[in-house]
Chains A and B, each alone.
Chain A
Amino acid sequence: MSGAILTIGGVGHSFAGLRVLQSVDIAVPRGGLVGLIGPNGSGKTTLFNIVTGYLKPDTGSIVYEARALDGVPIQARSRAGLVRTFQTPKIFEQMSVLENVMVGCCKATQTGFIGDLIRSRTSRHQFQVMKETAEQACEKFGLTQILYNEARNTTAGQRRILELARATVGKPKLLLLDEPSAGLTPQEIEQLKDWIRRFNGEGISVLLVSHDMGLMNVVTTVHVLYFGGIIATGGMAEIQKNARVREVYLGV
């Protein structure tokens, strides 16, 4: 598995005795585009929280870039290039769209607290760098029109895009997207697919969680999670023919 950027090995987790995940194995190849589907309550988001460090798994391990992530805090994982988005976009409501994206640039820049307090040259320079980087990202994502709007006044679609812009401006190596199409219009979903392909083309590995079959067409490999276990793995066409998957997931 030397070609994998992320290896989820035998991960199991329970909430108050309820077994949510049992020994899940998934690998994301470097530069890969991997999907994870499963009905509601199958443990997708729990797995996501474990990979990104919001939860500690009961058993198993997460290996990222050939390094075990046990005990590594969330922010350190993010700085190492493992970045997620949320099922419900968590944007910084009271800040402007531009400022939201600028926060994504914080880990790529460095200023001291005292330097910022007295507005040193480094402080001003780094702030300018962040602003320019964020402006470029906003332009790329078509957010230029609403650059100075407060983020709380944006639409559901804009929130998704904003969260994507914010997550990718820090140049992640592995992007984990949790239900990115929820609440989007069909046109916006098409646009989202383009974005995902584009990120992948730029060398970002993607792990996509969704139960939106239309969106799942973009990935090369799909894992099907059902009651805490992987029941099938393969290409989308292959998965859709799988009898067991049809039975438990598609309900046919």
Chain B
Amino acid sequence: MRSAPRLLLLVAALIMWAVLPLFLARNLVDLLVFAGIFSIAGLGIGLLLGHCGIASLAQGMFYGLGAYASAYCSITFGAPAIVGFVIGLAVAAAIALLVGWPVLRLTGFFLALATLCLAVIGNAIFFEWDWLTGGSLGIGGIPKIQLFGFAFDTPGKYYYLVWILAFLCMRLGYQLVTSRNGLMMQAVRDSPDAALSLGIDIQAVRTRIFVLCSMFGSLAGSLFAHYTSFASVESFTIERSITFLLIPVIGGVSSVTGVIVGALFVIFVPELFSKLGDFHQILFGLALVFVVIVMPGGIVGAVRQLFAAGRRKAR
């Protein structure tokens, strides 16, 4: 009889999600849109970290790649939005494959450092190749997304688009981690040596998930560019990569939907603290440290533990 209350809870959450933008102030809807975009990029990192044991700091680069692909295609060629999305996804996948194959031989800190280098190089290229990216000026005037004559031109409309895509990506992620390939990923995470001894090509497993992760990053970047109508090198820095890594860590890597919690945290907590004046950066840092130390399984992990403890007591 556990599934009935669960279904009820799900329906309630869905209704709340659907009506939320109708009641919230515009600036809050705006933040929710960003949370949706961030949760897509964070999902990629969450799958890498939680199910494959790879900490990547390169997501900011793939995010930028998607944004510039969308910006360039729609401004220079006047192409419909979908073209920018597809090109961004294709380029991100190609670069992830090309770079991932050699780099993913590394493990642990060395791999994290290599992905950090990737983010640094990406940022430098975004800055230097001004014929493509507009350099420090960026690319402005990116049109809103039009789908069958319907324009997603307000934060409210964009909210639905972004979150439906985010839920779709999470669904795909969930299906992946509960499949044969998902088992292989987790085996590689827990013991690469044992995975090898059972005939698993760990290099191929790692590369595939890295490519998928980069594509989530690119998708988020394209959504970002069309929403803010502006793509600038400032948005694709190392700090952004770190934010994307924080999302699954805060939310909890063991659960696919944990990235929603993580994304809401990194978007709303700084916003809350910003009213408190100059200390808000420090407060955000403290909140981070608190979550990471007190809840090693992320917020979702902590809530699950709480429920498990409650169930034990009830028995």
| A interface, CB within 8 angstroms of B | 52, 54, 73-76, 78-79, 83-86, 90-95, 99, 102-104, 106-107, 109, 111, 113, 116-119, 123, 126-127, 130, 166-167, 170
- A104 and B172 contacting across the interface, CB-CB below 8 Å: no
Inter-chain contact A84/B182, CB cutoff 8 Å: no
Assembled-state Cα–Cα distance A52/B175 (Å):
33
Contacts A107-B200, A116-B179, A117-B172; A92 near B186 (Cβ below 8 A): yes
Asked if B187 and A95 make an inter-chain contact with CB atoms under 8 angstroms apart, the answer reads yes
The interface stretch among B145-153, B190-198, B224-232, B263-271 is B190-198
Q: Is B189 among interface residues, defined by CB-CB distance under 8 A?
A: yes
**A83 vs B196: C-alpha distance in the bound complex, in angstroms?**
10
10 CB-based A-B contacts, threshold 8 Å: A92-B191, A99-B183, A103-B183, A106-B183, A106-B187, A106-B198, A117-B179, A117-B212, A119-B179, A127-B180
Q: In the complex, which residues of chain B have a beta carbon less than 8 angstroms from the beta carbon of A118?
A: 172, 175
What B residues does A54 contact at CB under 8 A?
193, 196
Distance in angstroms between the alpha carbons of A86 and B189 in the assembled complex: 17
Q: Please report the C-alpha to C-alpha distance between residue A104 and residue B180 in the assembled complex, in whole angstroms.
A: 11
How many B residues, CB 8 Å from partner?
26
Say whether A111 contacts B179, CB under 8 Å. Answer: yes
Chain A residues whose C-beta falls within 8 Å of the C-beta of B186 in the assembled complex: 92, 94-95, 99, 103
Number of A-B contacts (CB under 8 A): 103
Instruction: Confirm or deny: B57 has a beta carbon within 8 angstroms of a beta carbon on chain A.
Output: no
Contact of B196 among A75, A91, A167, A170 (CB under 8 A): A75
A118→B186 CA distance, assembly (Å): 19
CB distance from A64 to the nearest CB of B (A): 14
* Minimum distance in angstroms from A86 CB to a CB of chain B: 7
Is B179 a contact partner of A75 (Cβ separation < 8 A)? no
Contact A119 B197 (CB under 8 A): no
Which of A75, A91, A119, A127 is the one whose CB lies under 8 Å from B191?
A: A91
Are the C-beta atoms of A117 and B175 separated by less than 8 Å? yes
A78, B199: Cβ atoms under 8 Å? Answer: yes
A102 touches B181 (CB 8 A): no
Q: Known: A91-B191, A117-B172. Contact between A78 and B179, CB under 8 A?
A: no
The answer to whether residues A170 and B198 also contact, given A126-B180, A127-B179, A127-B180 and a CB cut-off of 8 A, is yes
